């Protein structure tokens, strides 16, 4: 008996560090994938000036260099689901990190703008693949009690990555260092390879591939204390149910699911049309036009007012987001975003008047300060509303038979809208002025507000089954749309 007891105790001692290591490994993978995503989004802001000087590019080409990361990401997001099913989650993440590394090196060594664009597309494809595969891997590896936290960690890591990119931009500012700024993202990409290699694939994927032995080993590493055989039977049953119910791509667009698809895709697009990535990508240039004359002061404003505030507000949001309803958060957030965009637009309007020699109501330094404050309010309002809530809603409104593909459609729509904004931001500024563009973003905040108020149902506090039922029941849907409002 005592012998037996000793064996059990020592076994659990040896299992525990292995489990902790495996979970740490998964946490590291999700954190590094998010960091890379954010870094590649943020870094271009500080690199644009140097690229412009070295390659003598015009506005249109500058926009292509900035925005084709998102185009690559759109293609990556669409391809990722099939890749993750065929090659496994782990190999898909490995492939994404290899693409990141390759893309970063192409960018850093690019002799001209065409190769630079190829590098941006390659990095983007990796970002898109990882943006689907890493959360999928984390949600299948994490024990249920940690699942929510792992997915929030990803959100947080994206903003930390944007901050890290701004910090590197700030340290390396100066004309020809842009190659280093872009090339540095190869470092976390290599770390990601190192983090993924020793980990197993998810038990769910192994079961899908009918590799029960591997599934058993993987499950034992992450949840050594559960009843492994019972869990594997459960997984096998749910894999079987899913494959029976699983829809073709056309099925995703069936009349029956049109409502949730319309809501998911519209929210994904509005999240971008309200301007977040124009500010993330072109922050330095916005501060430059608002009167921050030295590159040092521009980088500092970008680092803290955009990067720092984004991290802190996201941290607060991730801790609180589940306590409030989705709709109130979105309504308050879009109101804050609207007010700050209108203010930034008004500042640029006054600055245009100064440039034109007509009397303006504000001086250049006042305009700079007001712009910083308004952008802080904008970023903070986004970070607790449209930022995390849109992704939460997209992941909970679809019934399981279409969820995977519908989430991919909404994610690709989000990347497409991000591309539209970053591709045409500078051209639009040239055409209608900075004030006009910020007021256009403000207009989309009104559209978002009305859409959320009138069309979107509240999903907080409902089980996934209740949400599914709602789509076919007019009364329930009506009640959920008008709840507490």
Phi-psi region of 463 (alpha: psi -120 to 50; beta: other; left: phi over 0): beta
- Number of neighbouring beta carbons within 10 Å of residue 15: 15
Q: How far apart are the C-alpha atoms of 205 and 229, rounded to whole Å?
A: 16
Q: How far apart are the C-alpha atoms of 236 and 230, rounded to whole Å?
A: 10
Instruction: Give me the DSSP letters along 24-43.
Output: HHHHHHHHHHHHHHHHHHHT
Rounded to 5°, the CA angle 333-338-340 comes to 100
- Closest contact distance (angstroms) between CB of 42 and ligand BGC is 8
> Contact, 485 vs 327, CB < 8 A?
yes
- With respect to ligand BGC, which residue has the nearer C-beta, 106 or 279? 279
89-97, 111-119, 270-278, 422-430 -> range binding ligand BGC (CB under 6 A): 270-278
Subset of residues 168 to 227 that bind ligand BGC, contact rule: CB under 6 A: none
Subset of residues 361 to 420 that bind ligand BGC, contact rule: CB under 6 A: 387, 414, 418
- Told to check if 310 binds ligand BGC by CB under 6 A, we report yes
Question: Which residue has its beta carbon closest to ligand BGC?
Answer: 387
- With respect to ligand BGC, which residue has the nearer C-beta, 19 or 379? 379
- Assign 3-class secondary structure to 303-352: HHHHHHHHHHHHHHHHHHCCCCCHHHHHHHHHHHHHHHHHHHHHHHHHHH
- With respect to ligand BGC, which residue has the nearer C-beta, 189 or 413? 413
113-121, 205-213, 273-281, 439-447 -> range binding ligand BGC (CB under 6 A): 273-281
101-109, 113-121, 213-221, 269-277 -> range binding ligand BGC (CB under 6 A): 269-277
- Closest contact distance (angstroms) between CB of 386 and ligand BGC is 7
- With respect to ligand BGC, which residue has the nearer C-beta, 276 or 452? 276
- Closest contact distance (angstroms) between CB of 281 and ligand BGC is 9
- Closest contact distance (angstroms) between CB of 280 and ligand BGC is 5
136-144, 198-206, 224-232, 271-279 -> range binding ligand BGC (CB under 6 A): 271-279
- Closest contact distance (angstroms) between CB of 188 and ligand BGC is 17
Residue for token pair 């993330």: 280
Q: At what angle do helices 228-245 and 212-222 cross, to 10 degrees?
A: 120
144-152, 242-250, 275-283, 447-455 -> range binding ligand BGC (CB under 6 A): 275-283
* Burial of residue 353 (number of CB atoms within 10 Å: 0-12, 13-18, 19+): middle
Q: Which helix (H) or strand (E) holds 411?
A: helix 400-454
- Closest contact distance (angstroms) between CB of 378 and ligand BGC is 12
- Closest contact distance (angstroms) between CB of 379 and ligand BGC is 8
- Told to check if 160 binds ligand BGC by CB under 6 A, we report no
> Contact, 159 vs 38, CB < 8 A?
yes
- Closest contact distance (angstroms) between CB of 314 and ligand BGC is 7
Q: Which of 277, 284, 343, 395 binds ligand BGC (CB under 6 A)?
A: 277
Q: Which of 280, 290, 303, 344 binds ligand BGC (CB under 6 A)?
A: 280
* Burial of residue 431 (number of CB atoms within 10 Å: 0-12, 13-18, 19+): exposed
- Closest contact distance (angstroms) between CB of 417 and ligand BGC is 9
- Closest contact distance (angstroms) between CB of 461 and ligand BGC is 23
Residue 120 phi/psi, 5-degree rounding, is -65, -40
Could you list the beta-strand ranges (E) of 112-162.
none
End-to-end CA distance of the chain: 63
- Told to check if 41 binds ligand BGC by CB under 6 A, we report yes
Q: How far apart are the C-alpha atoms of 354 and 65, rounded to whole Å?
A: 31
- With respect to ligand BGC, which residue has the nearer C-beta, 277 or 302? 277
107-115, 136-144, 226-234, 274-282 -> range binding ligand BGC (CB under 6 A): 274-282
Q: Which of 47, 96, 195, 276 binds ligand BGC (CB under 6 A)?
A: 276
- Closest contact distance (angstroms) between CB of 337 and ligand BGC is 13
- Site size toward ligand BGC (CB under 6 A) is 11
The residues binding ligand BGC (CB under 6 A) are 41, 158-159, 271, 276-277, 280, 310, 387, 414, 418
């Amino acid at each position: 008996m005592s012998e037996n007891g000793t064996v059990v105790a020592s076994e659990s001692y040896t299992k525990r560090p292995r489990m902790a290591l495996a979970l740490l490994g998964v946490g590291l993978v999700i954190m590094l994938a998010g960091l890379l995503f954010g870094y590649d989004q943020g870094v271009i802001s500080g690199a644009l000036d140097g690229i412009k000087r070295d390659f003598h590019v015009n506005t249109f080409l500058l926009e292509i260099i900035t925005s084709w990361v998102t185009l690559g990401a759109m293609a990556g997001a669409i391809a990722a689901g099939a890749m993750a099913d065929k090659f496994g989650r782990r190999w898909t993440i490995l492939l994404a990190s290899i693409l990141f590394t390759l893309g970063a090196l192409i960018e850093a060594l690019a002799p001209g703008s065409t190769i630079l664009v190829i590098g941006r597309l390659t990095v983007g494809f990796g970002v898109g693949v990882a943006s689907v595969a890493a959360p999928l891997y984390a949600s299948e590896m994490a024990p249920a009690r940690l699942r929510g936290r792992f997915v929030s960690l990803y959100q947080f890591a994206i903003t930390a990555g944007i901050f890290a990119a701004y910090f590197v931009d700030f340290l390396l500012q100066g004309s020809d260092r842009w190659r280093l700024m872009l090339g540095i993202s190869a470092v976390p990409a290599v770390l990601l390879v190192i983090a993924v290699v020793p980990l197993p694939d998810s038990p769910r994927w192994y079961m899908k591939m009918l590799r029960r032995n591997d599934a058993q080993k993987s499950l034992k590493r992450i949840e050594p204390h559960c009843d492994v055989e019972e869990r594997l039977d459960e997984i096998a049953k749910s894999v079987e149910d899913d494959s029976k119910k699983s829809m073709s791509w056309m099925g995703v667009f069936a009349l029956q699911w049109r409502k949730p698809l319309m809501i998911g895709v519209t929210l994904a697009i509005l999240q971008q049309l309200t301007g977040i990535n124009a500010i993330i990508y072109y922050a330095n240039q916005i501060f430059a036009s608002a009167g921050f004359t030295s590159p040092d002061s521009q980088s500092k404003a970008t680092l803290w007012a955009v990067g720092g505030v984004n991290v802190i507000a996201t941290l607060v949001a991730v801790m609180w987001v589940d306590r409030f309803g989705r709709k109130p958060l979105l309504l308050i957030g879009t109101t804050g975003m609207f007010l700050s965009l209108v203010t930034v637009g008004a500042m640029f309007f006054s600055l245009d008047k100064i440039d034109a020699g007509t009397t303006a109501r504000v001086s250049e330094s006042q305009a700079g300060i007001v712009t910083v404050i308004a952008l802080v309010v904008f970023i903070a309002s986004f970070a607790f509303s449209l930022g995390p809530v849109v992704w939460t809603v997209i992941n909970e409104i679809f019934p399981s038979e279409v969820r995977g593909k519908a989430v991919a459609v909404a994610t690709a729509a989000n990347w497409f809208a991000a591309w539209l904004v970053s591709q045409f931001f500078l051209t639009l500024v040239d055409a209608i002025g900075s004030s006009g563009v910020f007021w256009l973003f403000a207009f989309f905040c009104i559209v978002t507000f009305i859409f959320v108020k009138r069309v979107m149902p509240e999903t907080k506090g409902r089980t996934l089954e209740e949400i599914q039922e709602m789509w076919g029941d007019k009364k329930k849907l009506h009640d959920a749309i008008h709840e507490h409002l």
